[in-house]
Amino acid sequence: MLLLSMKLSILQEDLAGNITLASRFVSTRAQLPVLSNILLKTQNGKLSLSATNLETGINVSTGAKIEKEGTITVPAKILVDLVNHLPAGKVSLEVDKDQLKISCNSISANISGIPATEFPNVPDLVKEATFSLKRETLDTLTDNVAFSAATEDTRPILTGINLIVGEKVIAVATDGFRMSYKELDGVNFDKNGSKFLLPARVVEELNRALGAKTEDVKVAVLQKEGQIIFQSENIILTSRLIDGEFPDYNRVMPKAWTTKASLGKDELLQAVKATSVFARESASIVRIKFDSNGLTLTSESSQYGKEEIQVEAKTEGDEVQIAFNYKYLLDFLNSIDGDSIVIETQGPTTPGVFQDSKDPTYKHIIMPVRV
């Protein structure tokens, strides 16, 4: 089916949003020109857009008035810039040979494209859902878990979120310095005992792509193809699953504490932000002293000076001083909704557990910095 003569009209508002979304999945350093393109295709009275970097792919569709069916691929960057500069209202798209003609009112543009046959196959449908995710659950996964995953590709396994489906559904992510552990609800799963690693970045992208949508997300896990597909209304996001054995989170989870502190989230957040002024200049280190008076945060830079902040807290157990990377503390504090937190630790060389005091299902573990 080589229909190159596409002709349709669509609203600029609809088109611009979708093209911007799709363009996020185009590979940034594509060696193959077609991979920096977006595929435009007419389908069931809709205009469907696809993009992929061969690891993740997206398909997003929107209603349009279609006169002639057809397909083409055009460079994402050009298309995004062009469409975003068009005035709101009706836009007509027309394919002539290898060119996409875009016109509205007084503007008319031609973009050189590549025939769609060159474009990889991007799934545009979830045939059979393995489970469904509530929209809020995806939010939680992004807020509480995804940020703990590693971002560099040198440790591929740690760039994933480990989803373990047993009696509970557990999500774990770690970059080797900190770890998020979250028991999820709002996951509707039939098959017990499965577990898989999905790229944390994909979860974040999906969450962003869905924006204010509130519909449940259908998820298909294709273990054999090593693929996971998410569908919510008109957005279908496909990603590969990460291969390999995720580290055992149980081994990392501290099993006891010798010092414990309960305090307000905002107080600590303010204090960490303030101490970061000097910490930024000295390996991001903030020292926290736990004693019967509460917490004392200090940061020091040999060049610029030092700072000390008292934070009121209810403490139990031993007095101790522990050095943390302030960025990890900020990430945790920004990840929770509650207004008070609990910190448990066994000393300056072992991981500390940070918790939202109202949410026992979420545990965040941070490894202290050795000083």
**Contact positions vs another protein (CB under 8 A):** 30-33, 35, 52, 54-55, 57, 120-122, 155-158, 174-179, 222, 224-227, 240, 242-247, 250-256, 346, 349-351, 365, 367
Helix (H, G, I), strand (E, B) or coil at 273: helix
Shortest reach from residue 63's CB to another protein, in Å: 27
- Alpha-carbon span 360 to 24, nearest angstrom: 35
Closest to 360 (Cα-Cα) out of 342, 334, 339, 335: 342
Residue 112 exposed, middle or buried by CB count within 10 Å (0-12, 13-18, 19+):
exposed
**Smaller CB distance to another protein: residue 187 or 285?**
285
Amino acid identity, residue 305? Answer: G
Shortest reach from residue 160's CB to another protein, in Å: 10
Largest pairwise CA distance in the chain: 77
Helix (H, G, I), strand (E, B) or coil at 149: coil
**Smaller CB distance to another protein: residue 25 or 362?**
25
Closest to 203 (Cα-Cα) out of 137, 157, 247, 120: 137
Shortest reach from residue 162's CB to another protein, in Å: 11
- Alpha-carbon span 181 to 196, nearest angstrom: 15
**Smaller CB distance to another protein: residue 16 or 150?**
150
Helix (H, G, I), strand (E, B) or coil at 334: helix
**Smaller CB distance to another protein: residue 76 or 122?**
122
**Smaller CB distance to another protein: residue 32 or 107?**
32
Shortest reach from residue 354's CB to another protein, in Å: 13
Shortest reach from residue 55's CB to another protein, in Å: 5
**Phi, psi torsion values for 246, nearest 5 degrees:** -75, 145
Structure tokens at 155: 């440790």
Shortest reach from residue 243's CB to another protein, in Å: 4
C-alpha distances (whole Å) from 365 to each of 178, 198, 223, 350 are: 5, 20, 30, 10
**Smaller CB distance to another protein: residue 240 or 280?**
240
**Smaller CB distance to another protein: residue 63 or 226?**
226
Shortest reach from residue 222's CB to another protein, in Å: 8
Cα 170 versus chain centre, distance: 17
